[in-house]
Structure 1
Amino acid sequence: MESVRIALVQMQSFVGKTHENLAKIKKHVQEAKKKGVQIICFPELAAQGYTRKRAKELAEISTGYCGTYLSNLSKEYDIQIIAGLIEKSENDKPYITQLIIDQGKINKYRKTHIGESEELYFTPGNELPVFASTLATIGVQICFDCHFPEVSTVQAIKGAEIIFAPHASPTMVKDRKEIWLKYLRARAYDNGVYVAACNLIGQNGDGSDFIGGTLVIDPKGNIIGEDFNGEEAMLIVDLPKEKINILRQNERKTMRNSFYLKSRRPEIYKELTD
């Protein structure tokens, strides 16, 4: 991994107002580029707005209008963009997808663990890919995915050095920071990865209200960036390469810098995964 500057956006996104949402994304990309950001992440379903009942109506293919717009932004500003999209599927239930766009090339992660309230409206994905670039290898988990430890472990074993965690967590959650710290710190520490989370914020025009928040945790479980001020904002954080590379490249001199996944014994865990 190279040292990298990332940006996380807590963003108000209105359902069905795709052009306005994308225009807002563009402004953040422009600002991020001026400040030397190399990877910018937007919340779950930021492009069309988070909705369940209108999901089928608003769904697009990954290379449709939203994907093409974001791809062009990535190329124009030479920045990696990670942004949420309602993606058409082969059936009536679309995917909750995060596009990962690098130099205009579109990759995607489909939310693999959907909540009970989403089961009637969305199709879960079935793959846990990681995405390598000259900067870093990244994994993506969307909201509910983060509650399942195996997801982070699989992505870290596959080489993920940064896990981005875009959310659509509502205001009913109350203290987003307190809840995130209960499990995102563990995901970072146990798997020796950076974890970077962001959330939708404010009302979406479709009856939902989101609590916002951005948080970055280093591979030892330490908070290195946060914003829970309750307003639309962009958090910029530098991720030094040394904290990952000392774990991954066998450069450690003490147990404190162990990459624990190297000592796994999957043969004795088999009964837990069958």
Structure 2
Amino acid sequence: MKIAIVQTKPVINEIENNMRTIISFIDEAKEQEAQLICFPEMAFNGYNFDNLEWQVNQQKKYLNLLQGKAKIDNMTIVIGGIEKVTDRYYLAQYIIDDSIRSYNKIHIGSKESRFVAAGEEIKVFTKKELTFGIMMCYDTHFPELCTYMALSGADLILAPSAVPNDPSKRIEAWKKYLVARAYDNRVYIAANNLIFYQGGGGMICYNPSGDMIDCNSSNNEDMLIFEVEKQNYSKTSMKQRNFILDRKPEVYKKYNL
């Protein structure tokens, strides 16, 4: 299955204009036969915590619009915004196809904690034969999330982010730990970053052997497409071993892990 990840530069409080860019990338991904496209964290309105109620209300009509497009294009759209549940706001990645689902960021930064609550549920989703999970930005530093998703059958972990670093520095940081998430859990990893007025951007993807498939260290709006194939890592050789089959949870529990 072809997967598209995108880096965009949304303008704060101009969701309608941002949607034009979003739709154009969806159209381009469809032309290249991608069946799933992932946009960065907070792609609807940029990294901005003002007027959260307004952001939620604005998103509603565009979520419905994107669902209609997803059905027509036979595509799953993953896009970052703000979700409100009862009286709490969350940093969310919406998963849009036949239904609209969401993953709420579990590990939030100190600045973010002043505005949004932390999610409390690890989830996996399906697209035809593909099972995928989501780790948002700071989430990627916590290996347990990726392992749980792999144990739940994930083939692919998406890592949409919003970090205003220089993109080359973002790539170098990802190279330090995302390769381990991919290799140890035998999953594809794909990370993409929001573009800010200054800084931001960067995309990278790894296969389940920990080999980098591709990366993009530019600060321009762009898209990266790669192929996900079902892998067989259940063999006994270390080269093909699925390491999570050898986990010892009964030991980890002694240490509250």
Residue ranges of structure 1 left out of the alignment (5+ in a row)? 204-208
Please report the RMSD computed on the Cα atoms of aligned residues, expressed in angstroms.
Answer: 1.8
Match of 2:107 in 1: 113
TM-score by length of 2: 0.94
2:36 partner amino acid:
I
Match of 1:98 in 2: 93
Partners of 1:61 and 1:30 lie apart in 2 by 22
Match of 1:233 in 2: 222
Instruction: Map 1:135-214 onto structure 2 (within 5 A).
Output: 135-171=129-165, 175-203=169-197, 209-214=198-203
Partners of 1:271 and 1:50 lie apart in 2 by 40
Match of 1:72 in 2: 68
Match of 2:208 in 1: 219
Alignment size in residue pairs: 257
Match of 2:123 in 1: 129
Instruction: Map 1:53-68 onto structure 2 (within 5 A).
Output: 53-60=50-57, 64-68=60-64
CA-CA distance at 1:105 after TM superposition: 1.4
Query: Among residues 14, 24, 28, which one is paired with 1:27 in the alignment?
Result: 24
Partners of 2:58 and 2:102 lie apart in 1 by 11
Change (3 A) 1:254 1:87: same
Instruction: Map 1:251-270 onto structure 2 (within 5 A).
Output: 252=235, 254-270=237-253
Give a deviation string over 1:43-74, Cα, whole Å, max 9, x none: 00101222123434422498x21321221121
Query: Among residues 62, 78, 84, which one is paired with 2:80 in the alignment?
Result: 84
**Identity across matched positions, percent:** 36
2:70 partner amino acid:
S
1:148 partner amino acid:
F
Partners of 1:95 and 1:212 lie apart in 2 by 22
Residue ranges of structure 2 left out of the alignment (5+ in a row)? none
Partners of 2:254 and 2:49 lie apart in 1 by 36
Change (3 A) 1:89 1:173: farther
Give a deviation string over 1:75-122, Cα, whole Å, max 9, x none: 12111111011111322x4110001123x3111100011011111100
Contact 1:97 1:109 in 2 (8 A): yes
Is residue 36 of structure 2 the alignment partner of residue 39 of structure 1? Answer: yes
Partners of 2:212 and 2:43 lie apart in 1 by 25
Contact 2:94 2:101 in 1 (8 A): yes
Is residue 12 of structure 2 the alignment partner of residue 15 of structure 1? Answer: yes
TM-score by length of 1: 0.89
Partners of 1:52 and 1:7 lie apart in 2 by 27
Contact 1:60 1:86 in 2 (8 A): no
